[in-house]
Every structure is written in C-alpha cells, then in structure tokens.
Amino acid sequence: MNFSGVFPILATPFNEDGSLDLESLDRLVTFVGDLGVAGVTVLGVLGESNRMLDKEREALIACAVAAARGRTRVIVGASHPGTQATIGLCRMAAELGADAVMVAPSAEPVPNEARVFEYFQKVAAGSPLPLVAQDHPASTQVHMSLPLLLRLVDEIPSIACIKAEAPPTPVRIAAIKAGMQQRRVPLLTGLGALYGYFDLMAGADGFNTGFAFPEVLMAIDAAARAGDADECFRLYARYLPLLVFEQQPGVAVRKELLRMRGLLRTPHVRHPGAALGEAAARQLRDVVARVLPDVDITQAIRP
C-alpha cells in the first residue's frame, strides 16, 4: 500500500436519533472515491470513534469497505488504551477487509517511552495489517521524541507510515525525514491541514486529515509534487479561511459543511459533543460564500 497522497479522515454520519447513518457513509465514501483520493480513514479522532459501540464499529467498517469497492484504500482507526484491545480492533479491521490501521499511544500515569515502544511492538506483532503510527499529542497527551519515532521506523517493519501532528509540524517533519537513514516511510500531515503548505515544503508526502473539501487538498498536494511552490501557496492561501474555520474544536463545523455539500443527511454530533450554534452556522455560510462565491458545493469543485 502506498501511503502518499490524500487520505481524508471521514466524519461518522448519524441520524437525528443518534443511530448510524450508513447510507450517508456510503455516499461520502463514493464521493471522495470519485475524486480520486489515495484512500480514506474511518474511526479517526474526529470520526467520534470513542463514542462508538463495538457492533457499530463493525457495521461502519464493513460499509466503508463495501463503498470503497476496491478502488479506494481504507484505513481504520484502532487506537485503544489497552494493548490487547487495540490488537483486537486491528484484527476486526482486517477481517472486514480494511487495508491498514491507524494507531496512537495512550497516556500513562508516568510517561515512559520504553512502554510506548513496547505498545507499538506488541500491536504490530498482533496486527495482520500495516500500521500508521499517529503522533498527535493534542489528543493523546503523549509526546513522542524524535529518537522514539525513528526507533519505531527502524525496528518495527509493519509501521508503514507516520502521521506527524506534533507542532511545530514543519520542523518535526523535516527532522524525521532527515533522521530516517536505515529505513524510510512516508510522512502524512494532519491537523486539519492548517499548516499544509509548510508541511509539504518540509517534505510531507500528503495529507491524512479531515476537511470537507478533499479536492482542495489534492490540488495543493499535486502542486507540491510538481515542484510548483507558488501554486501550492496560492491554493493554500485561497482556502485558508475555510481550513481555519473548520478546524475549530469538535466536529460540528465539518459535519455541517458535509451536510451543505449534500453528503450527510444530518450534521448530528453524538452526545456529549455539541451541535453547531446558529451564530456559528451563519458565519460558516458567510465564509463559504466568500471563499467559493457562486459555486455549487454539492459537486466536486475545481480549486
């Protein structure tokens, strides 16, 4: 599996009563697949994975794999505070046809990098799928040092990609790229693509993040791959207001944007997550109108 390009992290659609909306998920996976993304990630941090029952996870993964129809790779978030539980989630993803799993460490009462390494080592040994190692201290409260990340790459062959989300991300990405001597793996940037231009210029191999307009990320990534820094920056600057507005805490903004695009039936966020207030919804409509005037956002846009 090639871990370079754009891998959108998908929102988990729910009906107004809080039940899974698999019809909307099918529509969402089909839409981004038609765009030509490299793959998708379900059950990420912003996929409300911590609010899902095990049977719901199973149904969601099966639906995403079916909707991908073999043309779009499916990465499944499998992080869990328990090592054996993480391995179980990895095996579930494999049995349901996923292509890879994304795993992040969990915080311990006493920080211990040896234990973090051991966690990844044990998960890798028990997982039938390649691992995306997620370095996202904002959600995990685990700060992995550069030597630890390089050791993961050097000593655990099934770690096939690093998702680099520890700010300052451009500096971090450049340091990881420079430090990978024995074995090299792709680095994907996240954080809602807030620092996307700078991360790509520092050597990131693409995006693994949520944004309601993945075709924009694809255009930014394509410009970077072509060596056209000016076009890459132009696109990044044009859509930065949308990136910033969507990256507010929670998933309500993204879900409302996906509803506006006709991809989700409702923007329902599972409790205790909050819905988007009317004032914020007005601001969202305003920023969309300013960034994409007279554009039908229910269709694939041309950045």
122-166 tens-digit pLDDT? 999 999 999 999 999 999 999 999 999 999 999 999 999 999 999
Asked whether residue 60 is assigned to any structural domain, the reply reads yes
Mark 268-279 as b/e (b = at least 16 C-beta within 10 Å): bbeeeeebbeee
Query: Mean pLDDT, the chain, as a whole number?
Result: 96
Contact indicator for 159, 120 with CB cutoff of 8 Å: yes
Asked whether residue 189 is assigned to any structural domain, the reply reads yes
pLDDT at 110 over 90: no
Identify the band that residue 1 occupies on the pLDDT scale cut at 50, 70 and 90.
confident
Asked whether residue 78 is assigned to any structural domain, the reply reads yes
Asked whether residue 116 is assigned to any structural domain, the reply reads yes
Q: How far apart are CA 211 and CA 56, in angstroms?
A: 23
75-97 tens-digit pLDDT? 999 999 999 999 999 999 999 99
Average confidence (pLDDT) over 169-181: 97
Asked whether residue 21 is assigned to any structural domain, the reply reads yes
The residue range of the domain holding 9 is: 5-239
* The residue type at 228: D
Asked whether residue 23 is assigned to any structural domain, the reply reads yes
Q: How far apart are CA 263 and CA 113, in angstroms?
A: 41
What are the phi and psi torsion angles at 148 (to 5°)?
A: -65, -45
Asked whether residue 290 is assigned to any structural domain, the reply reads no
Q: In the chain, pLDDT over 70 holds for what percent of residues?
A: 100
pLDDT at 278 over 90: yes
Domain count of the chain?
Answer: 1
CATH of the domain at 24: 3.20.20.70
pLDDT at 45 over 90: no
Identify the band that residue 108 occupies on the pLDDT scale cut at 50, 70 and 90.
confident
Asked whether residue 132 is assigned to any structural domain, the reply reads yes
